[in-house]
Amino acid sequence: MEFDKITVGFCYVIPSYRRVIDIVCNLWFFYMFQTIHELQALLQEKLDCASHDLLLKASALADAETSNLQKVISNIVITLCMWGNLSKNPRWVYS
């Protein structure tokens, strides 16, 4: 008879553990999604700052012959390429 009580008790315990596991998994997925979103926002902010700094120095970095800005900044993870026609001369295009 005690075996039946243990079995009945076990049947009641399992659904509550499943619910706890579901809650923990949902919280974990929410946390991961939030972390990924924050990292994407941080990366976009860093790219915007790098582009802004590069554009502030555009006149100094321009090619003397074509008056075009052509700069590549690179590291192991990412490469930022920027080109600009500073003289607004339509015959000079990026090659």
Which residues constitute the domain of residue 88? Answer: 59-95
What pLDDT does 92 receive?
53
Number of domain units in the chain? 2
Q: What does pLDDT average to in each consecutive run of 10 residues of the chain (95 residues)? A: 44 62 83 92 91 86 83 86 79 56
How distant, in Å, are the alpha carbons of 11, 20, 62 from that of 24? 21, 6, 55
Q: Are 22 and 28 in contact (CB under 8 A)?
A: no
Same-domain pairing of 49 and 7:
yes
Same-domain pairing of 49 and 88:
no
pTM, entire model: 0.59
Tens-place pLDDT, residues 49-71: 988 988 888 888 888 887 888 88
Distance, CA of 64 to CA of 70 (rounded, Å): 11
Q: H or E element: which one contains 38?
A: helix 2-56
